[in-house]
Structure 1
Amino acid sequence: MNGSKYFNFIIVAFVALAAIAFIISRCVSKVPDNDDIAHIRDNGALRVVIDSSTDGMQITADGDTVGEQFELIREFCRQQNLPVEYKLESNLNNAIEDLQDGECDVIVRYIPVTSSLRDTLLFTESLIHDKQVLVQRKKVIDKVVNDSFVHNQLELAEKTVTLAEESPSIIRINNLSKEIGDTIYINTIPNYDNEAIAIMVSKGEFQYTVLGLHAATRLQKEYKNLDIHLSIGFSQLHSWAVRKTSVELCDSLNSFIKNC
């Protein structure tokens, strides 16, 4: 084989391999080309990734499925005559990865709408305005004074706040540390969300964590020894999220949210 024929053979082989790789990638990818309701219905169901919490979705001891956002997305699917599949995922980064990889169609949880997340996600209309608060045990419990009680943000200096691994609250605590000009230590716990850690705070296993006020208020009704008075951040919009390509699905969700 002379040089010219060999070169042509290499070019043809390269093009063929590239074409095969493209076809395989299209077959393997789970990200749909079309995310409208009709296409989702044809594919079987709306795939929802939702966090395991009192705001999200929980299964009670009686076997009942409950949760504020679970009820909302279930009603949306009922109105759309759309089957629904749920996946529990408390880690927001994992939920975003599932969405981008085509493992689900919508993230149903109160996600803070930030400029960085807007770059990768398409947010629905906001569901709530929420702010982050410090969760700690009350100053006096059964006439016993809690010596670790924090009255203001400055008193968090040299204290340790326990948070879920990869929690968005980590960024806020790091920023707060800079704002007060002192160190706030962060203890991260894998395989737990901040709500579960707040329950552990109530039991005395940790001193402090951070929750959204909406979830903290709900949790305090059951764990009455918790104090949630100290604000850690400003009020933010919180929404559900879909892929950037899921414009029609987002429009349908927005119409539903506006009428709730």
Structure 2
Amino acid sequence: MKIRLSGVWVMGLLLSLIANTSGCHRKVYAELEQIDPIDRRSNLLMVGPINRDLADIKKGGTLTVIAPYNATTYFIYRGEPLGYEYELLQSFAKDQGLALKMVVVADPKSLFTILNSGEGDIAANRLVPTPENETDVSFTRALYRTAPVLVQQEEPPAKAGKGTEKMLAPGPADQTPEVDIQARLITKPSQLTGKTVTLPEQSPYNRTLVELSDEISGEIYVVEMGALQDEALAQKVAKGEIEFTVMQKNLADLKEAEFKNLKVRPIISKSHSVAWAVRKNSPELIQALNSWIEKKQNGSLFDKLYQKYFIDRRNYLERVESGFLTSTTGKLCAYDDLLKQHANDINWDWRLLASQAFQESRFKPDAHSWAGAAGLLQLMPATARQYGVKNSLDPADNLQGAVKFLKWLDGFWHERITNDVERLKFVLASYNAGAGHVQDAQRLTEKYGGNSQSWEDVSYWLLQESTQQYSIDPVVKFGFCRGLEPVNYVSHILERYDRYKQFVAQTSQAAQ
């Protein structure tokens, strides 16, 4: 379908997901339960809002938020829920004396219909108020302001940077042929005349491009890809599959840090607000939200969380970069004896455990991650509690808890992955991303004809879990995953372990 809107040609390119599911396993295992209910309905017709306001919500005791999984709104990391909007909503619910329930919506276009039907109380998804959607829902005060920016390729994929090779490599899920990328960068909006810009379906920036097209008196062609969202489109630009996309600048800056062959410029319109949505007949709820936002924006909460999810690139880049520690003394760190002691508990070569410890904290026992993990092996708070760790910053306490967790993971994968060498990769990936996300990748591998016993195959599909198309696939239970992190995590640990074996004596259990 191709529609001309005031100087912009809009070509509907709605990518449908394959609905068939994989066959049953030959063996029956106890499966991990998904953390959130996932609503997979799509293309729902708009309905009028039900009558339920804050007083009714408080009677029930639970505030229900509907949102997709994505890189900043809401996602699961090492088994714990995180996200800029999630943490803000968690704080609001606590201040209101309410429990917070997240319902994941696979199709962002259905958010407002599901909200109005009463299956949620607040919709969150980096929402941009527009005249079109303000007829259906009401928006809160701005959580932050950002501007629409053009995302384009400056260098070929080979220049994307260390750690991105697997993410940008073609694979069985890639069916779109590469396009020829222009040699000259767009430096001002007027140069978009005659160009094609790819957007998610129903993007607020469709209107922006209509207005820009009128302003520059030139045609801009817009392709809508219904199954893909901003993060996936940025990756397609980096791979050379599409020329341009437009997204919020703070998110685009993160993608530019990840894929160094991207150029995020120029800004194509003025800044706008990003907000939450509620039903139009919920005046008590929107008043409470607006008062809370205004109050908290005068404190430290908003700045702290914005810094954590949008500004701090150090931990973001550590997930795609890693160095090697070298030594001529045969001693890796101050905790060699502890590592040797606890490696025996899981029958690991201590140098393998040391490589993992370096990957996690660079042997710094007081290290803290952006997500709240702490200590030598970066235990998340819930994991530390589960394995009896009283002080994650105590190297001995941290190590004993981490080794118990690794032992559990090895047991979890023992019958699922029969080859010892392959199983180690699944264990390490599960330590980093959570066993649920790795199982999701296994299910995708089986569904699309790969070998679910092979890390090479499963790691490819783990990477695809960071895309909208596959994070909402019917076989996926745990949704969006920053797949590049666990894939690089496994390869960096094993490469460093090989390096350690070259110059550090084993003097302990047999090597893997």
TM-score, length-scaled by structure 1:
0.78
CA contact (8 A) 1:49 1:89 kept: yes
Asked if residue 58 in structure 1 is aligned to residue 94 in structure 2, the reply is no
For residues 103 and 275 of structure 2, the distance between their equivalents in structure 1, rounded to whole angstroms, comes to 18
Q: Which digits, 9 at most, give the CA deviation of each residue in 1:81-133, with x for residues without a partner?
A: 21222233475542111122222111123322334433332221111121100
Contact 1:54-1:68 within 8 A present in 2 as well? no
Distance verdict in 2 for CA 1:34–1:142, change over 3 Å: closer
Counterpart-to-counterpart distance in 2, 1:102 and 1:171: 29
Aligned-residue sequence identity (percent) comes to 30
Matched residue type, 1:166: Q
- Counterpart of 1:35 (choices 53, 65, 72) is 53
Matched, 1:222 2:258: yes
Q: Could you list the runs of 4 or more consecutive aligned residues of structure 1 that deviate by over 4 angstroms after TM superposition?
A: 29-32, 139-143
Does 2:245 align with 1:209?
yes
Report the counterpart of residue 8 of structure 1 in structure 2: none
CA distance in 2: counterparts of 1:176 and 1:92, whole angstroms = 25
Matching residue of 2:154: 138
Q: Which amino acid aligns with 1:206?
A: I
- 1:110-159 CA-to-partner distances (Å, cap 9, x unmatched) read 3223344333322211111211000112268849x961521221221221
> Are 1:161 and 1:208, in contact at CA under 8 Å, matched by a contact in 2?
yes
On the 8 A contact 2:159/2:260 being kept in 1, the answer is no
Say which of 30, 47, 58 aligns to 2:64: 47
TM superposition shift of 1:179: 2.0
Aligned to 2:97: 81
User: 1:4 corresponds to which residue?
Assistant: none
Letter in 2 for 1:54: A
Equivalents in 2 of 1:158, 1:88: separation in Å?
38
When residues 220 and 88 of structure 1 are mapped into structure 2, their CA distance, relative to the original with a 3 A threshold, is: farther
Q: Sort the Cα spacing of 1:242 and 1:217 in 2 relative to 1 into closer, same or farther, 3 A.
A: same
Q: Which AA in structure 2 matches 1:42? A: K
Aligned counterpart, 2:125: 109
1:81–1:135 Cα change, 3 Å: same
Cα separation, 2, equivalents of 1:90 and 1:185: 27
| Pairs within 5 Å for 1:1-260 | 32-36=50-54, 38-43=55-60, 45-60=62-77, 62-89=78-105, 92-138=108-154, 142=159, 147=183, 149-260=185-296
Aligned-pair CA distance for 1:230: 0.5
Whether the 8 Å CA contact 2:69–2:75 is kept in 1: the answer is: yes
Larger deviation, residues 85-94 vs 182-191: 85-94
SS in structure 2 at match of 1:188: strand
Q: Which amino acid aligns with 2:205?
A: S
What is the rounded CA distance, in whole Å, between the counterparts of 1:106 and 1:166 in structure 2?
20
Q: Matched residues in 2 for 1:125 and 1:221: separation? A: 29
Q: How far apart are 1:57 and its partner, in Å?
A: 1.0
d(CA) in 2 for partners of 1:225, 1:51: 28
2:67 and 2:108 in contact (8 A); partners too: no
Q: Secondary structure at the match of 1:95?
A: helix
Q: Partners of 2:220 and 2:186 in 1: how far apart?
A: 13
Do the aligned residues in 1 keep the contact of 2:140 with 2:290 (CA within 8 Å)? yes
Query: 3-state DSSP class of the match of 2:59?
Result: helix
Residue 31 of structure 1 contacts residue 103 of structure 1 at CA under 8 Å; is this kept in 2?
no
Going from structure 1 to structure 2, the CA distance change for 1:179 and 1:139 (only over 3 Å counts) comes to: farther
Separation of aligned partners in 2, 1:219 and 1:194: 10
Q: CA deviation at 1:44?
A: 5.0
How far residue 72 of structure 1 moved from its aligned partner, in angstroms, is: 0.7
Cα separation, 1, equivalents of 2:182 and 2:131: 39
- C-alpha change, 1:104 and 1:191, in structure 2 (3 Å) is same
Q: C-alpha offsets along residues 67-86 of structure 1, whole Å, 9 cap, x if unaligned?
A: 11111111111222212222
Contact 1:124 1:241 in 2 (8 A): yes
Residue 247 of structure 1 and its aligned partner are, at CA, apart by 0.9
Q: Does the CA-based 8 Å contact 2:53-2:285 persist in structure 1?
A: yes
Is the Cα contact below 8 Å between 2:50 and 2:117 reproduced in 1? no
Point out where structure 2 has 5 or more consecutive residues left out of the alignment.
1-46, 161-180, 297-512
Question: Normalising to structure 2: TM-score of the pair?
Answer: 0.41
Q: Which amino acid aligns with 2:53?
A: D
Structure 1 gaps, min length 5? 1-28
Contact kept, 8 Å, 1:91 with 1:167, in 2: the verdict is no
C-alpha contact (below 8 Å) 1:90/1:192 kept by paired residues: no
Distance 2:81 2:153 in 1: 29
Alignment RMSD, CA only?
Answer: 2.6
Say if 1:226 and 1:64 are closer, same or farther in 2 by CA, change over 3 A. farther
